[in-house]
Structure 1
Amino acid sequence: MAKRRRYANPMALLGLSPMIATAVGVFVICIIYSIVLSFTNSRLLPSFDFIGWQQYERLWTTQRWLVSVRNIWLFGVLSIGFNMIFGYLLAVFMDQRIKAEDTFRTIFLYPFAMSLVVTGLVWQWIMDPNLGLQAAMNNFGFENFRFSPLTNETTAIYGVIVAGVWNGVGVTMAILLAGLRGVDEEVWKAARVDGIPPWKTYLFIVLPMMRGAFVTAFVLQCVGVVRVFDLIIAMTQGGPGIATQMPAVFVIQHITGRSNVGLGMAAAAMMLLPIMILVGLQQFFAWRSRRKSVSATTVAEALPQGQGVAAK
């Protein structure tokens, strides 16, 4: 019956055909084409002069790329970690049924709705020693106050991380808040009856039940980290020096500015790899969860009616 319903409406497939054609034509074919070019000696324009793995060997001996990989790991670990922590804390705060909840939700989500270019420019201004926070504090009489992380090669990446957290924490809060609102009310009642403090309920009971919401927020943040470009260009242009260089910046610079399409495509292929691994892991765990659910249902149905109820 389920299979009959699945294939009973060909008009639905017809309606989805433009989206399917776009996904296959734009995404799949372009990805394959990019990977093919990564094995060529393409310079200013694409060519099919195949040179094997030389572009990848050259890529992993390029200092700019190695710095980019180090930066993306640092940026990813810290920004995702802070986004998940602060996002959950904000979700818990919003779950208290506070007054003007819609207003607070709009305020928290506003940074995510802004362009990353605008976000970068705002934080560049805040961290500018001549215009931002340092200048304001100096004008108030705190002449020894210093806050200019973007001018120092050691601290510039942390300034970018602050802007990234500010941009992403709101959408993480919204996803986790939806997960919190989906928890059965009986769980809260049982915790109150047992005398469990609210903070322990949120941390040890509700948190493990929100695995789906956390995975969704985590994957969304990971994809955003891998393709971060606008924020870097707006704030630092990859500098000072190459201190805030990122893989996406490396790819664009080599394809457009340095006329090295082959090396840029090799870097783009390496950027695609972690996303494919994350999506593959997400699908694997979802498949395993569905399989366990189906197995449990099958066992319950196979038992006699009384035993099936007892098993439940």
Structure 2
Amino acid sequence: MSQTLTSSSQAARTPAPARSPADRIAQWIPKLVLSPTLVIVVVFFYGFIFWTGLLSFTNSRMLPSYGLVGWDNYVRLFNNERWLVALGNLGIYAFLFIAICLVLGLLLAILLDQKIRAEGALRTIYLYPMALSFIVTGTVWKWMLNPQVGLEQFVQSLGWDSFQFDWLVNPDFSIYTVVIAAVWQSSGFVMALFLAGLRGVDDSIIKAAQIDGASRFTIYTRIIIPSLRPVFFSAFIMLAHIAIKSFDLALALTGGGPGISSDLPAIFMYQLSFTRNQMGIGAASAMIMLLTVIAILVPYLYSELRVKKHD
């Protein structure tokens, strides 16, 4: 026993072998490679978030100013009629955009999951709009929906003179043109998410249901679609993030008009900060948008972490 203790104490006193310079360099290389990215993230992401939050409590106008005014910018923001219109438009746009994309993406994924011919070509066609920038999408749909040269003029040239589709210039319907263009661009991406989820469903469960006499409709509604809950949640988070920060699509398509009928919070923030010299209120609107995104992300992250903890 004493010999064992003596040998263990001698081993504990034995110094670790000195590392060579090559080992030290190999240890520091990953840190050196990642350090620029870390600095950029800290400064240009979290740093600018903090700075924007600080500006929202100041009397900044054309240029940043650091005279604190408390919650005054937030009070003025929610007393601004244009901001309330932008929030209402965001509610309409986000609800329709997310709902239609989820339903349409799921239907397209189910269609492609039937092992149809030319699946690769159809998948490419559905995904192609996502490769375009929102500026290009907005410009193309602005031309297509223009009553003078787009869809309305084309249908009327076919002999249907009473046809009218003036949503782009109609204040009551202009926000819906933004929904149409956004759904066209993003539904293919949602389709790809659902298709990946469908291909990950265990075939043995489906075969067992078929042996029990379940119809295809029952298999999808009772087995497959409920198993896609994580995909639904992920797609919802992504679509909600796209909707809240929507700027370039609406700006290229309607410019927030006619008037402010299709205004969105991102357009409001940009114009008040950089064209109307009210940077403090613009920063306050940006922080409200950030808090909205956080309110959506936190439940998602909490559920994901809880699932991993139970696993």
Q: TM-score, normalised by structure 2?
A: 0.89
Query: Following TM superposition, by how much is the alpha carbon of 1:16 offset from its aligned partner in structure 2, in angstroms?
Result: 3.0
Query: Following TM superposition, by how much is the alpha carbon of 1:13 offset from its aligned partner in structure 2, in angstroms?
Result: 4.7
What is aligned with 2:186? Answer: 168
Query: Following TM superposition, by how much is the alpha carbon of 1:18 offset from its aligned partner in structure 2, in angstroms?
Result: 2.7
- Out of 33, 36, 44, the position equivalent to 2:54 is 36
Deviation >6 Å, runs of 4+: none
| Residues matched between the structures, number | 286
- Out of 211, 214, 220, the position equivalent to 1:202 is 220
Equivalent AA in structure 2 for residue 20 of structure 1: L
What is aligned with 1:232? Answer: 250
Query: Following TM superposition, by how much is the alpha carbon of 1:200 offset from its aligned partner in structure 2, in angstroms?
Result: 1.9
* 1:187/1:249 CA distance change after superposition, 3 Å: same
Equivalent AA in structure 1 for residue 117 of structure 2: K
CA distance in 2, matches of 1:259, 1:131: 36
What is aligned with 1:54? Answer: 72
- Out of 273, 276, 279, the position equivalent to 2:297 is 279
CA distance in 2, matches of 1:42, 1:13: 39
Cα distance per residue 1:111-157 (max 9 Å; x no partner): 11111111111111111111011101111111101011011111111
Equivalent AA in structure 1 for residue 164 of structure 2: R
Query: Following TM superposition, by how much is the alpha carbon of 1:10 offset from its aligned partner in structure 2, in angstroms?
Result: 6.6
Cα distance per residue 1:74-106 (max 9 Å; x no partner): 100001000000000001111112222121111
1:214 corresponds to 2:258? no
* 1:64/1:26 CA distance change after superposition, 3 Å: same
Query: Following TM superposition, by how much is the alpha carbon of 1:275 offset from its aligned partner in structure 2, in angstroms?
Result: 0.8
1:260 corresponds to 2:308? no
1:190 corresponds to 2:208? yes
CA distance in 2, matches of 1:241, 1:146: 21
Query: Following TM superposition, by how much is the alpha carbon of 1:196 offset from its aligned partner in structure 2, in angstroms?
Result: 1.3
Which stretches in structure 1 are left out of the alignment for 5+ residues? Answer: 1-8, 294-312
What is aligned with 1:27? Answer: 45
Equivalent AA in structure 2 for residue 144 of structure 1: S
What is aligned with 2:112? Answer: 94
* 1:204/1:14 CA distance change after superposition, 3 Å: farther
CA distance in 1, matches of 2:206, 2:87: 44
1:74 corresponds to 2:74? no
Q: TM-score, normalised by structure 1?
A: 0.88
CA distance in 2, matches of 1:119, 1:163: 7
Cα distance per residue 1:272-297 (max 9 Å; x no partner): 0111111111111112212332xxxx
Equivalent AA in structure 2 for residue 103 of structure 1: A
Cα distance per residue 1:180-210 (max 9 Å; x no partner): 1111111211121111111221222111211
Query: Following TM superposition, by how much is the alpha carbon of 1:20 offset from its aligned partner in structure 2, in angstroms?
Result: 2.2
Query: Following TM superposition, by how much is the alpha carbon of 1:17 offset from its aligned partner in structure 2, in angstroms?
Result: 2.8
* 1:177/1:10 CA distance change after superposition, 3 Å: farther
Which stretches in structure 2 are left out of the alignment for 5+ residues? Answer: 1-26
Query: Following TM superposition, by how much is the alpha carbon of 1:245 offset from its aligned partner in structure 2, in angstroms?
Result: 0.3
Query: Following TM superposition, by how much is the alpha carbon of 1:15 offset from its aligned partner in structure 2, in angstroms?
Result: 3.6
Identity rate, percent: 39
1:133 corresponds to 2:151? yes
What is aligned with 1:290? Answer: 308
What does 1:8-23 align with in structure 2 at a 5 Å threshold? 12-23=30-41
CA distance in 1, matches of 2:186, 2:88: 21
Cα distance per residue 1:152-193 (max 9 Å; x no partner): 111111111111111110100011111111111112111211
Equivalent AA in structure 2 for residue 170 of structure 1: G
SS of residue paired to 1:41: coil
* 1:185/1:13 CA distance change after superposition, 3 Å: farther
Which structure has the larger Rg over C-alpha atoms?
A: 2
Query: Following TM superposition, by how much is the alpha carbon of 1:61 offset from its aligned partner in structure 2, in angstroms?
Result: 0.4
Query: Following TM superposition, by how much is the alpha carbon of 1:12 offset from its aligned partner in structure 2, in angstroms?
Result: 4.5
CA distance in 2, matches of 1:43, 1:94: 53
What is aligned with 1:85? Answer: 103
